[in-house]
Structure 1
Amino acid sequence: MTSADESSAQQPYELIYWPSIQGRGEFVRLVLEEGGIPYEDVARQPEEEGGGMNAIQEILGDIGQTPGFAVPMLRAGDLVISQTANICLFLATRHGLVPDDEASRWHANQLQLTVMDFVTEAHDTHHPISVADYYEDQKEAAKRRAKAFIELRMPKFLGYFERAIDAGARAGWLVGEQRSYVDLSLFQVVRGLEYAFPNATARCLEEAPNVAALADRVEARPNVAAYLNSERRIPFNEDGIFRHYSELDP
């Protein structure tokens, strides 16, 4: 490490994300929590201490030399990093949540980017026309989008991750012989799908037992389990990526 890296690594990371939803920030939180990495969830701090929505507006307004498009963002000393997959790779490389060899790191990033594609498609089931309109204004289109998602796209994505686990080192993880940050992300997607589409997800996971087992194994890890049972874990809700509407999950 350079001296600048050492300085920033000694400070708690600052996660900047919306204070009331899991969203894409949750993928970063899981890496931080599993790694036992000190951090501050800035917008969830009191406004008088520099938190709240003002913290988000401040960092988006102070884009500096490396402007980010949107939260989540991670402040690491003088560095401000955005894009969920980018943040996760940064943290995982620094804190031992991905194998050291180059091939494994790029493979992990490939899998993580696919996870984020999956997340986008899950989100678009309830906002298929416009993110600017309420779900209630596009319910019929949402029904059609959700039908295609649960019948075609969800099985395709889960089938891919099922094969990726089976093609690995037979350790039950996606990359290498121990857990990596990508396993944490796949866990989050599985639990999100179980919340949003409990009927369809149960059917799909019958065909993807490796994925189901991986999610259970991640959930049982001590740091993850402690986080899930803490007030730091925001519950799934109808303002986030994964939303449960019974009419979309027959």
Structure 2
Amino acid sequence: MSAEQPSKRTRTSPTYTLIYHPGLPGRGEFTRLALEASGTPYTDLGGEATWGSGDKKTKEALTGQVYATVAPDSLGEGNSPPVYALPALRVENAGTGGGPLVISQTGNMLAYLGAKIGLAGEEDGPDKWHVSELALTALDWTNEAHDTHHPVNMMAYYEDQLEESKKRSKDFREARCPKFLGYFERVLKGNKEKRDGEGKYLVGGKLTYADTTLWQVIDGLLYAFPKELEARKKDYPLIFETFYPTIKEEKGIKEYLASERRIKYSNGIFRKYPELDRQ
């Protein structure tokens, strides 16, 4: 189990704390998967407020810590600037002057963690830049998935923008998903032929955070648009027959997915609205 209570962590290891909304996998899941895949201990404030063993008061306190991070009057923790939006990552004693380092933006957090937890590809080479660009591309796809159910106003109810959501989802399914799927299929094919990636990995011959990020997007889309992805599986065999099932069985990820720490999809980025799926 990688997510631990602070008292169980060793003083010799960096103390990572993931800060994200309780009850949602959302954008916090990309960092969770990377930490779990690498076996890196971390504290998950929103997770522990969801599945932790603490009583109601304890969970309310954890939730309070989460939202204090993005409080409108916050000037930031230590010498870090204030966080605009969650998720955020706190690293104890890594900031200016020895205080905490608090960073946000999912791609930025993954880039910071990548080399430190062994998920940035081969050391001292260009892999880290390719890993970063592929993860960022997968995160772009995530943003487009979110906009299928909130295409006009992210603060308004889905029902108030239903017709616009149907139009956006049609374009997403028919134009955008094939473009992203085709691109990542080519990446896997190229890595298989050039670097013996076997169709299992995007960069080189071992797991990177680009793999965990793309896997999470595919998994979320299988939940949100099951009919659309089922219809397209045959066109992208490396993604659906090799990459997706292989990453799911990676050490650390397999155990995490079977645990209570894997928060179920609900009202986050990936939402299941049958009327938005292929009819």
Q: TM-score, normalised by structure 1?
A: 0.92
User: Where does 1:84-163 land on structure 2 (aligned, <5 Å)?
Assistant: 84-99=106-121, 100-163=123-186
- Measure the CA separation in 1 of the matches of 2:179 and 2:59: 45
Alignment partner of 1:170 is 2:183: no
1:44-65 Cα distance to aligned partner (Å, 9 max, x none)? 3455378432112222225143
Q: Contact (CA 8 Å) 1:32, 1:39: kept in 2 or not?
A: yes
Shift of residue 166, structure 1, vs aligned partner: 0.8
Aligned AA (1:214): F
Match for residue 252 of structure 2?
223
Q: TM-score, normalised by structure 2?
A: 0.83
Match for residue 4 of structure 1?
none
1:164-192 Cα distance to aligned partner (Å, 9 max, x none)? 11111231210111111110111111110
Q: Contact (CA 8 Å) 2:35, 2:117: kept in 1 or not?
A: no
Query: Counterpart of 1:167 in 2: which secondary structure?
Result: helix
User: Where does 1:189-204 land on structure 2 (aligned, <5 Å)?
Assistant: 189-204=217-232
Alignment partner of 1:36 is 2:50: no
Shift of residue 89, structure 1, vs aligned partner: 1.6
Match for residue 3 of structure 1?
none
Alignment partner of 1:66 is 2:66: no
Q: Contact (CA 8 Å) 1:8, 1:76: kept in 2 or not?
A: no
Match for residue 82 of structure 1?
104
Percent of pairs with identical residues: 41
Q: Contact (CA 8 Å) 2:211, 2:247: kept in 1 or not?
A: yes
- Measure the CA separation in 2 of the matches of 1:124 and 1:187: 19
Shift of residue 9, structure 1, vs aligned partner: 6.4
Large movers: runs of 4+ above 4 Å:
none
Bigger shift: residues 22-31 or 51-60: 51-60
Shift of residue 8, structure 1, vs aligned partner: 8.2
Q: Contact (CA 8 Å) 1:14, 1:75: kept in 2 or not?
A: yes
Alignment partner of 1:26 is 2:29: yes
- Measure the CA separation in 2 of the matches of 1:205 and 1:154: 12
Structure 2 unaligned spans of 5+: 1-9, 93-99
Shift of residue 159, structure 1, vs aligned partner: 0.6
Match for residue 55 of structure 1?
65
Bigger shift: residues 168-177 or 107-116: 168-177
Shift of residue 90, structure 1, vs aligned partner: 1.4
